[in-house]
């Protein structure tokens, strides 16, 4: 040990380490240990940051690639608006940029709960065509909404409320926390044909932006 430290001794016998001088080898060793501990901690922090950033990139990549379809939730009383929305989405679907799903794709005899679960698992965007009938539906509230809300919280699915007719959207906290595409005070049925079509174009643009 003394032979090793002798090469770092100044003419007066003290140890030289950079710009610092140490009277005893133990002082130098302790300073070295502290420096190494600092470097280890810094390196550990850097590794943790890299791992966290990597997880976020992987998660975002998974969501953007695996969840690419559009899930449309609606009341059958509002099926006319579903048809108009599907018309507006048709060009994107034809280009292969979106895959639209609604319950009309459930075939007779299939397990509808399983089909809905699979569709929600693929959904990047969920469009909610909101009305009093939508909010009154026990099926939607019990089976349709919960998996969509879970997908939004856990996998980053985008929820797009569209107000079809006057309803208690703003007084339904589980839904009103999501920004509606149109002003809740101006539902689709209160608009002229041209205005409602323009609003559906806006919905389509919002979907396109969410999946790009």
DSSP structure class, residue 69: E
Instruction: List 17's β-bridge partners, or say none.
Output: 20
- Report the percent of the chain where pLDDT is more than 70: 72
On the question of pLDDT at 167 being above 80, the answer is yes
CA distance 75 to 141: 11
Instruction: Show contacts of 56-62: CB within 8 Å, 24+ apart.
Output: 59/156, 60/156
For residue 59, name the pLDDT band (cuts at 50, 70, 90): very low
3 state SS of 137: coil
3 state SS of 22: strand
On the question of pLDDT at 9 being above 60, the answer is no
Segments making up each domain of the chain, as ranges: 15-62, 68-211
Number of Cα atoms under 13 Å in the Cβ half of residue 176: 10
Mean pLDDT across the chain: 82
For residue 19, name the pLDDT band (cuts at 50, 70, 90): very low
Of the candidates 120, 118, 175, 179, the residue with the CA atom closest to the CA atom of residue 147: 120
The pLDDT assigned to 164 comes to 98
- Average pLDDT for 159-180: 97
CA distance 13 to 72: 82
The CATH number of domain 68-211, selected from 3.40.50.150, 3.40.50.11900, 3.40.50.10140, 1.10.443.10: 3.40.50.10140
* CB neighbour list of residue 79: distance below 8 Å, 6 or more residues apart: none
User: What pTM, to 2 d.p., does this model score?
Assistant: 0.68
The pLDDT assigned to 34 comes to 76
Give the tens place of pLDDT for each residue, 90-131: 999 999 999 999 998 888 898 988 888 888 888 999 999 999
On the question of pLDDT at 66 being above 70, the answer is no
Write b or e for each residue in 155-193: b if 16 or more Cβ atoms lie within 10 A of its Cβ, otherwise e.
bebbbbbbbbbebebeeeeebeebebbbeeeebbeeeee
The pLDDT assigned to 180 comes to 97
The pLDDT assigned to 65 comes to 46
């Amino acid at each position: 040990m003394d032979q090793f430290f002798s090469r770092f001794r100044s003419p007066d016998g003290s140890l030289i380490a950079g710009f610092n001088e140490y009277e005893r080898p133990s002082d130098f060793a302790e300073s070295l240990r502290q420096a190494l501990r600092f470097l280890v901690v810094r390196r550990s922090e850097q590794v943790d940051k890299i791992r966290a950033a990597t997880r976020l990139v992987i998660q975002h990549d998974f969501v953007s690639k695996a969840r690419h379809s559009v899930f449309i939730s609606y009341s059958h009383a509002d099926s006319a608006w579903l048809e108009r929305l599907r018309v507006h989405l048709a060009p994107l679907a034809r280009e292969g940029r979106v895959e639209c799903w609604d319950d009309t794709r459930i075939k007779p005899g299939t397990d509808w709960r399983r089909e809905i679960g699979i569709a929600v698992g693929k959904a990047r965007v969920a469009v909610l065509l909101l009305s009093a009938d939508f909010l009154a539906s026990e099926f939607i509230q019990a089976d349709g909404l919960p998996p969509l809300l879970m997908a939004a919280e856990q996998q980053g699915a985008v929820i797009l409320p569209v107000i079809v007719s006057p309803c208690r959207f703003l007084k339904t906290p589980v839904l009103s926390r999501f920004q509606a595409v149109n002003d809740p005070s101006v539902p689709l049925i209160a608009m002229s044909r041209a205005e409602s079509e323009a609003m559906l174009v806006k919905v389509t643009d919002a979907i396109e932006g969410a999946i790009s």
